[in-house]
Structure 1
Amino acid sequence: MVKLLFIMRTKNIFHKRVTTLCIILILFFVNSKLYSQIIYTDIPDATPNATFSLDLNNDTVVDFIIYFGGSASTIGVMCNPQNNNAYSGNFVNETYLPWSLSTSNTICASLATWYDFNNPGTLALGTNIGYWVGASDKYLALKLIVGTNTYYGWARIDILANSASFTIKDYAYESTPNACIQSGQNNLDITEYTDKNLISIFPNPFVASTTIQTNRNLKNANLNIYNSYGQIVKQVNNLSGHTISLSRDALLSGLYFVKLTEENNVIADEKILITD
């Protein structure tokens, strides 16, 4: 009888510990999801004559350069990662070829191969080399290294069938280190039509407060301030008119991102810098 009670007590303790562990794991997972956020940047479709400097996380540091390569007779479009950043692709016939992904492909460490600045990639060359010849709404898988952290993202690109022109449409990255992102994923339930000319911010940088001026007559608009991790750190709601006064309050010095929305539309975004 004593032995039976001991066994039952041991099982109860085990079950309680397992239950507690499960709860901790669930809370950890939910908490990770709460702080996980995809930072999406919609730009006016850019079709450069020479190069496009891609700043994936909008910190004013160029992360990738998309440019024309090849020769005078056979033009191509290249991707050159900067610093320790990389693209995903493969190596065929002595050429590094970045993948041309469709929507909803998983981008993270599980992708087979990543190539850095030592191996610029050929997206398209002429009419028959590379996975991007004639591509429309395809996604370039990108890996971003910031300090000791690794982030994954994508850029949506079109390339003509003769590789003579390319268009950058938008890009995004997952702000949680080492977290996966799906190609085309942006976690937005709102329509974006960003136009940075819609707002001006002065002073910027600022110490205590600044003024945001817009040429749009706002009605019940909302202003969100994000930190570099993509977390909302300040909100100003129910805005009307052309002028917004923004106070620093308890925000620390550093770089922040401003997003102005109205009626489920992102009408402008910009960077602000707070100094001491």
Structure 2
Amino acid sequence: MGLLTDTGSSWSLTWQTPNITASWTSFGEDSNGELYAVGGNTVYKITDPNLNVTEEQLERFKLFPNPSNNKITIHFNAHLATVQSLSIINSIGQQVKKISTLSTENITIATKTYAAGLYFVEITDNTGVKYIKKFIVN
């Protein structure tokens, strides 16, 4: 496509033949470690949405053991009145279990019949906010 050369104070781009006039996409990192994507004459800054999540939100619930062999236990740190539902979702997006009525701080779910792989616990609170953690079944 082309050759990018450092000229000391700037960069020079020399197109190689045949000259490609189609759009191109690239990724880059600046001197501060910020990530960028370039495409279609636009520069996009890549940000991590998890940086806006508070510690309290991350610790809304815990699950253990992870990885799981026969069962997982989910412990709620938040008041149960704020939890609307709990779902277990497999790696292809299928809901394999849903619990709508939660009455205890600890819920144990048998996983011995689940196929080995990656799963997600999705907690939905009474305002519709979802909290998701992943776990592995061996």
Match among 51, 57, 66 for residue 204 of structure 1: 66
Q: Deviations over 1:102-140 (max 9, x none)?
A: xxxxxxxxx93233xxxx524x579xxx899xxxxx955
1:232 to 95, 110, 114: 95
Cα deviation digits, residues 8-49 of structure 1 (max 9, x gap): xxxxxxxxxxxxxxxxxxxxxxxxxxxxxxxxxxxxxxxxxx
Answer yes or no: is 1:265 the counterpart of 2:101.
no
Residue 114 (structure 2) pairs with residue 242 (structure 1): no
Residues 131/261 of structure 1: CA separation in 2 closer, same or farther (3 Å cut): closer
Write out per-residue CA displacement over residues 160-190 of structure 1, whole angstroms, 9 at most, x where no aligned residue.
Answer: xxxxxxxx335xxxxxxxxxxxxxxxxxxxx
Runs of 4 or more consecutive aligned structure 1 residues displaced over 4 Å after TM superposition = none
Structure 1: runs of 5 or more not aligned: 1-91, 95-110, 133-137, 141-154, 158-167, 171-191
For 2:37 and 2:136, the matched residues in 1 are separated by: 40
1:254 CA displacement = 1.0
1:217 touches 1:240 (CA, 8 Å); kept in 2? no
Aligned partners of 2:31 and 2:69: how far apart in 1? Answer: 50
Deviation at 1:204, TM superposition (A): 1.8
In terms of fraction of residues, the more helix-rich structure is 1
Root-mean-square deviation (Å):
3.5
Gaps of 5+ in 2: 1-10, 14-21
Q: Indicate the SS of the match to 1:260.
A: strand
Number of aligned positions between the proteins = 108
| Matching residue's letter, 2:70 | A
State the alpha-carbon separation in 2 of the partners of residues 247 and 230 from structure 1: 19
**Quick one: distance in 2 between partners of 1:204 and 1:261?**
21
1:113 aligned partner: 24
Q: Classify 1:131/1:272 alpha carbon distance in 2 versus 1 (closer, same or farther; 3 Å).
A: closer
2:59 aligned counterpart, secondary structure: helix
* CA–CA distance in structure 1, aligned partners of residues 96 and 25 of structure 2: 34
How much identity, in percent, do the aligned residues show? 26
Given that 2:84 and 2:125 are in contact with CA atoms closer than 8 Å, whether structure 1 keeps it comes out as yes
Amino acid at match of 2:61: I
Deviation at 1:202, TM superposition (A): 2.0
Instruction: Give the TM-score normalised by the residue count of structure 1.
Output: 0.32
Give the 3-state SS of the residue equivalent to 2:49 in structure 1.
strand
Is the contact made by 2:85 and 2:98 (CA closer than 8 Å) also made in structure 1?
A: yes
How far 1:256 sits from its partner (Å)?
0.8
**What is the CA–CA distance in structure 2 between the aligned matches of 1:249 and 1:223, rounded to whole Å?**
19
